[in-house]
Amino acid sequence: MFLRELSTSVDHIRGAGPAAVRTLAQSGITSIAGLLCRYPRDWEDRSIEVPLKDFGSYPAVCTVVTVLAHDWFGFGRMRTLKVYVEDDTARAVLVCFNRPFLEKQLIVGRRYRLWGRFFYKYGEIQSTAFEVEALDGDDAGERAGTGGKSSFGKILPIYPLSAGLSQGLLRRLVRSALDQYGAPLEDELPGEITAKEGLLSKAAALRAIHFPQTLGELEKAKNTLIYEELFYLEIMVGRRALERRDRDTREQTAVSSGDEPSLLQKRLLERLPFKLTSGQLDAVLEINRDMDGPYPMARLLQGDVGSGKTLVAFMAALRAVEQGRQAAVMAPTELLARQHAENAARLLEPLGCRIAFLTGNLRASGRSHLLKALAAGDIDIAVGTHALFSKDVEYRDLRLVVVDEQHRFGVVQRSSIMAKGDRPDLLMMSATPIPRTLALTVFGDLDVSVIRDMPPGRKPVKTHLAKQSNEGKVYEFVGKELAQGRQAYFVYPLIEMDENKDLKDAQSMADRLGREIFPRYPAALIHSKLDEEEKRKTMEAFRNGEIKILVATSVVEVGVDVPNASCMVIEHAERFGLSALHQLRGRVGRGDAQSYCFLVYSDDLSEDGKTRLMVMLENSDGFVIAEEDLKLRGPGQIAGIEQSGYLSLGIADPVRDAEALARARGDAFTVLEKDPGFLDPDHRVIARVLEKAPPFSGVTL
Ligand code: ADP
Ligand code: MG
């Protein structure tokens, strides 16, 4: 029997009375499997002696003491008992807050086992968090909630508690359940893998995660259960990739153009004033092969800010057009969608492509006209926001869907996008590099192309940190750049003034920068609350140089491309995530001139905050920054990840366990190669992982 099949109700556990069963149910624990999968969050090692004198070197003392004397301090309800004790090494004081009954239990002259966290205070070694047990007798053990057995001399599990649960109850019931049902549990990992990785059997791992004999055994138990989870996660990922291939095999449309761009693509390249970087070219060729291949593409294109992903997307669109079919290019904001549409018009219309721009703000008449043209196939490439995939939008023959800045969409209903065509190719593009570890999980069933190089001639952006009190110097510097005809961005965390926060906001600063600080240069404000037409006009004016200073919130974070802008000033920089800072910084350094990024921070910035900003100073590689961000903030903060199912693992942590993850992935894929049915729903699967799996719709295609 597998653990997941232990759906037996907890009331079958010996010693689980109706009250206990009810308490468990309140915390969502009804089956024995559910109980046994509630792993401890920590363990207390009471298996080794730690004498009083060593209280400072260990998390807790574990020793045998003699009670020397009682004493009381405080008055009335605050009256508190102090018990003086000593072992062979030192004297100490137990401060018995709210435990006056200990006066009767801790008898002067007798000996007790003692476990406690001690600290040094008022010249004494003190503890307020301790447990005691009479040296010969287990009545104290009863009170400690260990089911009459001593809670000393072993490693004790500490469970996460909720709704009326106590450590004592959980320890008692888990132990009973293990005794009754634990031994016959079958292994879920294939035997070769258990052997290769030096893991425990399932039964042994489960017992040891709850009641380890030694810390070494605990470590092995953790490794076993972590590996098991990661292995099944990767089996699922691998299955999904396989399914896509099986399910969707389609007629091969064209003989692969092999290792050079196709005809129409070459015509675009001839018109460009520059050559593709080798990273771009490789990506284009990979995409061509996918698009000509026997099953739909599902590819993630990663490339740092400014690496030229848009062009790769256009090349892919041309491949679809060349086959007489349609492409849709979706961007997360109207601003960015418009920029793409303008570029597409400029670059692709001369090649005979018919381009349309579709957003939610289109007037009804224009919209219905456009929808007709799309449905009739009179449009080759539609560029827009998620409006491209509204219910009433139909395509004649949608062959390619490009999702730009896909991290911005979180969990888009990709299935609704894909439903607009007959198994269209999907190209997702992300400039917030996805840390490798996440890429293996959340996006693990996608093929990945990475552009590692930057277009030539780019000078790395020079980054400077500045205290808020030194902002004058920053403004002075920017003034010099403006005087040379350059443009600047100023970014703030807030749109408008907030009485409660002592922060600069974009609105007030637009005013101040324009009137007081740089009166000679036109400034304008842009943020998400402005209407699209106003945003469009402002961006256009900034792009053609009428506006010199663009004051913004993080709306300019994504995609905006104005090569003449050479300064990015981010005030209250500590308020932004590292990935956001990286994106913002990527707005400059797009032309030939040297560019600068100023991160202005509060004078009272914390050490943590400084560490984060130092990451920006020391790194320009978005991949490195994303990894650092992940380490500093945890995966929950990475946009889109929280809904992805990635976080619903029980004991494994793909970041911490990155190495195990990579091995588990290898193992999983090997297993699937030999036995593609390995994760059939009624095959050997960990139900728990599967139950939690639906969130993977994040990458369901
Ligand atoms: P991102 O990858 O951040 O989306 P973009 O596609 O916006 O980057 O490209 C940034 C800028 O680089 C654009 O102005 C684009 O025209 C330019 N660019 C793209 N590819 C090249 C290249 N191979 N050589 C020179 N400039 C390029
Ligand atoms: Mg882009």
For residue 140, count other CB atoms closer than 10 A to its CB. 20
What per-residue confidence (pLDDT) applies to 432? 66
Q: Which two tokens stand for residue 381?
A: 């490439």
What domains can be seen in the chain, in order of their start residue?
48-153 (2.40.50.140), 263-451 (3.40.50.300), 462-619 (3.40.50.300)
CA distances from 536 to 216, 333, 539 (A): 62, 11, 5
- Is residue 489 within 8 A of residue 557, CB to CB? The reply is no
What per-residue confidence (pLDDT) applies to 384? 93
Please list, in sequence order, all residues whose beta carbon lies within 8 angstroms of the beta carbon of residue 203, skipping any fewer than 6 positions away. Answer: 182, 183, 184, 185
Structure confidence at residue 245 as a pLDDT band (50, 70, 90): low
Q: Which two tokens stand for residue 226?
A: 């972590």
Q: What separation in Å is there between the alpha carbon of 118 and the centre of ligand 1?
A: 61
Is there an atom of ligand 1 within 6 Å of 176 CB? no
pLDDT above 90 (res 559): no
Say which residue the tokens 């969707």 belong to: 248
Is there an atom of ligand 1 within 6 Å of 277 CB? yes
- pLDDT-wise least confident of 21-25, 427-431, 566-570: 427-431
* Paired strand residues for 330: 384, 403
Pocket test for ligand 1, best of 310, 450, 582 (most atoms within 8 A of CB): 310
Is there an atom of ligand 1 within 6 Å of 342 CB? no
- Is residue 566 within 8 A of residue 585, CB to CB? The reply is no
Q: Which two tokens stand for residue 303?
A: 């490339």
- For ligand 1, atom 25, the nearest C-alpha belongs to 455
From the list 129, 559, 578, 106, the residue with the least C-alpha distance to 341 is 559
The CA-based dihedral angle spanning residues 125, 130, 135, 139, taken in that order and rounded to the nearest 10 degrees: 160
Pocket test for ligand 1, best of 402, 404, 561 (most atoms within 8 A of CB): 561
- pLDDT-wise least confident of 66-70, 479-483, 537-541: 537-541
Provide the terminal-to-terminal Cα distance of the chain, rounded to the nearest Å.
34
Structure confidence at residue 446 as a pLDDT band (50, 70, 90): confident
Is there an atom of ligand 1 within 6 Å of 402 CB? no
- For ligand 1, atom 9, the nearest C-alpha belongs to 308
DSSP class of residue 50 equals B
Is there an atom of ligand 1 within 6 Å of 431 CB? yes
Please list, in sequence order, all residues whose beta carbon lies within 8 angstroms of the beta carbon of residue 537, skipping any fewer than 6 positions away. Answer: none
Q: What separation in Å is there between the alpha carbon of 496 and the centre of ligand 2?
A: 28
- Is residue 635 within 8 A of residue 655, CB to CB? The reply is yes
- pLDDT-wise least confident of 94-98, 266-270, 357-361: 357-361
- The residue among 170 and 436 whose pLDDT is bigger is 170
> What mean pLDDT is predicted for residues 504-515?
92
- The residue among 305 and 567 whose pLDDT is bigger is 567
Q: Which two tokens stand for residue 482?
A: 């403006």
What per-residue confidence (pLDDT) applies to 412? 46
> What does the alpha-carbon distance between residue 529 and residue 535 come to, in Å, rounded to a whole number?
9
What is the enclosing helix (H) or strand (E) of 598? strand 596-601
pLDDT above 60 (res 270): yes
Q: Residues 190-222: pLDDT tens digits?
A: 899 999 999 999 999 999 999 999 999 999 999
What per-residue confidence (pLDDT) applies to 658? 77
Is there an atom of ligand 1 within 6 Å of 435 CB? no
Q: Which two tokens stand for residue 322?
A: 């060349």
Q: Which amino acid is at 184?
A: P
Q: What atom of ligand 1 comes closest to residue 590's alpha carbon? A: 11
Is there an atom of ligand 1 within 6 Å of 307 CB? yes
Mean of per-residue pLDDT scores for the chain: 84
What per-residue confidence (pLDDT) applies to 51? 96
Return the ligand number nearest the Cα of 312.
1
Return the ligand number nearest the Cα of 405.
2
Q: What separation in Å is there between the alpha carbon of 345 and the centre of ligand 1?
A: 16
- The length of the chain is 701
pLDDT above 80 (res 655): no
Is there an atom of ligand 1 within 6 Å of 471 CB? no
- pLDDT-wise least confident of 64-68, 107-111, 170-174, 675-679: 675-679
Q: What is the pairing mode between strands 398-403 and 381-384?
A: unpaired
Structure confidence at residue 693 as a pLDDT band (50, 70, 90): very low
> What mean pLDDT is predicted for residues 460-478?
94
- pLDDT-wise least confident of 40-54, 484-498, 532-546, 682-696: 682-696
From the list 429, 435, 439, the residue with the least C-alpha distance to 300 is 429
pTM higher than 0.85:
no
Is there an atom of ligand 1 within 6 Å of 654 CB? no
- For ligand 1, atom 5, the nearest C-alpha belongs to 308
pLDDT above 60 (res 697): no
Residue 14 has phi, psi (to 5 degrees) of -60, 130
Q: What separation in Å is there between the alpha carbon of 550 and the centre of ligand 1?
A: 21
Is there an atom of ligand 1 within 6 Å of 305 CB? yes
For residue 356, count other CB atoms closer than 10 A to its CB. 23
pLDDT above 60 (res 93): yes
- pLDDT-wise least confident of 34-48, 379-393, 674-688: 674-688
Q: What separation in Å is there between the alpha carbon of 337 and the centre of ligand 2?
A: 10
> What does the alpha-carbon distance between residue 309 and residue 277 come to, in Å, rounded to a whole number?
11
Percent of the chain with pLDDT over 70: 86
- For ligand 1, atom 17, the nearest C-alpha belongs to 308
From the list 410, 422, 467, the residue with the least C-alpha distance to 646 is 410
> What does the alpha-carbon distance between residue 562 and residue 694 come to, in Å, rounded to a whole number?
41
- The vertex-346 CA angle with 343 and 348, nearest 5°, equals 90
Q: Strand ranges (DSSP E) for 331-405?
A: 355-358, 381-384, 398-403
Q: Which two tokens stand for residue 245?
A: 């291939």
Say which residue the tokens 């997360």 belong to: 332
Return the ligand number nearest the Cα of 302.
1
Return the ligand number nearest the Cα of 308.
1
Say which residue the tokens 């046994």 belong to: 36
